[in-house]
Structure 1
Amino acid sequence: MHAIAIESQRLVWREHEAPGPVGAGEVRIEVAWAGVNRADLMQRAGKYPPPPGAPDIPGLEVSGTIVEVGPRVERFRRGDAVCALLAGGGYAEQVVVDEAQVLPIPANLGLREAAALPEVFATAWLNLYMEGAAQTGQRILLHAAASGVGTAAIQLCRAFGNPCFVTAGSQEKLDACSRLGADAGWNRHDGSFVEAVKAWGGADMILDPVGGDYVEQDLAVLNADGRLVLIGLMGGMDAKLDLGRMLMKRQRVIGSTLRSRSPKAKGAILDALHAQVWPKLASGEIKPLIAESWPIQEADSALQHLDDNANIGKVLLRVSA
């Protein structure tokens, strides 16, 4: 098969040994589309190696067709159109993955749209409603809200009764977030968001992929008993904390990653998505937002688009569609 190799921080499409054999409870998927994520940028730069046992090929989500099923696979059969959440290996013609990490494509969606679902909706659901424990009516602050995860999170907030305030890097992005259901927003180039969020009523839960100096501002707007869920470090690894305020307001800071979780843990997240979110995707109440797509041979261009923060929604790679 062909797959992407990282050579001198460039992505090269070349011959690669096919994954396998298919083990008990696993399926082999012929990949049609792959999603692009910031983890892929970090892996290309040598800063985010795959977890032990995962392929060194980048790519955390795919859509495609099952071409082989292993022993004890219960939910899928050869020929099924599916999407999958991976620990790596998605930038390839084939992947082998535990069936727990695979979902059927929602009714009325195609393979292209399905590739925009697994990583972003799993990340958003996990951190909003599992780690962040958001309850109906609680107010949520979303940073980098025009990203794939951000646009998924806005729609989840709208669908499950959570007003959300968003930050993004341009008025165009803020307008797009508003169309998806954001209640209010702030252009990050206008400086601190603290006073705007306080005037909005503060936040009961914050989803932050930025870190750095955003953390101090986050805690300044986080309400009593609020949860800050940190899912990325785009703004740096160092932050200033007011421990006194955290103590008095009973604030919690939660670090969360998805990639390194076990197949069983990922399966529990996907089971929740299938029950709670897949019907809303099938009905059109929630829609994947796709920014751009490139052929897999031009993966570097796709990653550059993401690195430039030029996207509103999900960036995809066409593998064999």
Structure 2
Amino acid sequence: MRAVEIQEYGGPEVLKVVETEVPRPGAGQVSIDVAYTGVNFADLKARGEGYRVPSLPFVPGLEVSGRVREVGAGVEGLTVGQVVAALTAGGAYADVAVAERETVFPLPPTLDLRTAATLPTVLPTAYALVHSVGRLQPGETLLVQGAAGGIGTVVGQLARAAGAGSVYGVVSSAAKAEFARGYGYDEVFVGEFEAPVRAATGGRGVDLALDPVGGETLRRSLASLATFGRLVSFGNASSAAPWQVGQPELYPGALSVSGFSILTLAQTDPTALRALTERAFATVVDGTVSLPVTAEFGLEEAAEAHRVMGARASTGKLLLRVAQG
């Protein structure tokens, strides 16, 4: 079968399409004939920095849609040929991927494989940020970094559906700002946001800020909170040094800081992940949320997909089309 391997760390050019053995599922696992694979920023960090890479060579990719190829020992409730979406621990840039049973989700007839590939990482992450961790309440204000990306577009819609008072986004270009406004945002700031947020909220700040960037952006997001405000960190796209926050930052405004990682949750509490994902998927089925696919690449074009995402020029969701024919 075909797979895209990282054989050394570096730029997009290190992604190599190779022929390799078809993986077999172990106990409690399922193998999937992949139709589509989602491209995520974590894949770029794996390629460039070794993020969550146990050893080389490594096949990146965290989410797929397709059909069950084979079920391992002890797997119940799934059958060969069944249409599914799945969260994987790598290995998704390939014709066949393996996932743990707890992170494989049968698809309802209303969800096509292309749409389904956008969901396993983005949708439950966005749902957790708004509801499970962020605990957004009706009337509250929200600030979202990366508002035009996959998670950002879903967060905007979920927040609006939850009755948010105002939803503010931050992006890196005017084109992205225009795109994000179509997904639930009242105002979208380009680049600098701390002073504009204060101005937009009459000096008060926001109730909830969501940050996948880290570093200085995280500190400015914290400084943009209202009294009793909450910050959720869900990534470190800046690759900044680990951040610390303590009494001087938190006590004056009675602020709270929390974190979320869907990959870590999959390892530490797969049952909680499954419940979260099922609730999140329901928002697509009932029409609350749509996730735009803005670019699609062949498996052999994985390097180009990484170049597009790495240039910070992309909006919405990028996919690799894997199934041939």
The answer to whether structure 1 residue 179 and structure 2 residue 182 are counterparts is yes
Q: CA deviation at 1:270?
A: 3.5
Q: Is the 8 A contact 2:154 2:183 kept in 1?
A: no
Q: CA deviation at 1:212?
A: 1.7
Shift of the 255–55 alpha-carbon distance from structure 1 to 2, 3 Å rule, reads: farther
User: 3-state DSSP class of the match of 2:251?
Assistant: helix
- Return 245-254 or 38-47, whichever deviates more: 245-254
Q: Which residue, 213, 216, 220 being the options, matches 1:217?
A: 220
> Which whole-Å CA distance do the structure 2 matches of 1:198 and 1:27 have between them?
49
Aligned residue for 1:280?
Answer: 283
> Which whole-Å CA distance do the structure 2 matches of 1:74 and 1:263 have between them?
20
Aligned residues: 315
Q: Is the 8 A contact 2:149 2:316 kept in 1?
A: yes
Counterpart of 2:197 in structure 1: which amino acid?
A: V
User: 3-state DSSP class of the match of 1:213?
Assistant: helix
Shift of the 104–158 alpha-carbon distance from structure 1 to 2, 3 Å rule, reads: farther
Shift of the 77–33 alpha-carbon distance from structure 1 to 2, 3 Å rule, reads: same
Aligned residue for 1:59?
Answer: 61
Q: Is the 8 A contact 1:132 1:205 kept in 2?
A: yes
Q: Is the 8 A contact 1:101 1:263 kept in 2?
A: no
Q: CA deviation at 1:166?
A: 0.3
The answer to whether structure 1 residue 300 and structure 2 residue 303 are counterparts is yes
Q: CA deviation at 1:47?
A: 3.3
> Which whole-Å CA distance do the structure 2 matches of 1:299 and 1:117 have between them?
19
> Which whole-Å CA distance do the structure 2 matches of 1:85 and 1:55 have between them?
20
Q: CA deviation at 1:100?
A: 1.1
Counterpart of 2:255 in structure 1: which amino acid?
A: Q
User: 3-state DSSP class of the match of 2:230?
Assistant: strand
Between the two proteins, what is the percent identity of the paired residues?
35
Give the gaps of 5 or more residues in structure 2: none
User: 3-state DSSP class of the match of 2:238?
Assistant: coil
> Which whole-Å CA distance do the structure 2 matches of 1:80 and 1:136 have between them?
39
Aligned residue for 2:294?
Answer: 291
Aligned residue for 1:261?
Answer: 265
Q: Which residue, 63, 73, 89 being the options, matches 1:71?
A: 73
> Which whole-Å CA distance do the structure 2 matches of 1:67 and 1:240 have between them?
45
Aligned residue for 1:13?
Answer: 17
> Which whole-Å CA distance do the structure 1 matches of 2:74 and 2:94 have between them?
25
Q: Which residue, 163, 168, 174 being the options, matches 1:165?
A: 168
Q: Which residue, 9, 26, 29 being the options, matches 2:29?
A: 26
Over the aligned positions, Cα root-mean-square deviation in angstroms equals 2.3
Q: Is the 8 A contact 2:32 2:70 kept in 1?
A: yes
Counterpart of 2:6 in structure 1: which amino acid?
A: I
Give the gaps of 5 or more residues in structure 1: none
TM-score by length of 1: 0.90
Aligned residue for 1:271?
Answer: 275
Q: Is the 8 A contact 2:88 2:98 kept in 1?
A: no
> Which whole-Å CA distance do the structure 2 matches of 1:89 and 1:24 have between them?
17
TM-score by length of 2: 0.89
Task: Note the 1:17-166 alignment, pairs <5 A.
Answer: 17-20=21-24, 22-50=25-53, 56-162=58-164, 163-166=166-169
Q: CA deviation at 1:198?
A: 1.8
> Which whole-Å CA distance do the structure 2 matches of 1:195 and 1:107 have between them?
47
Q: Which residue, 313, 319, 323 being the options, matches 1:316?
A: 319
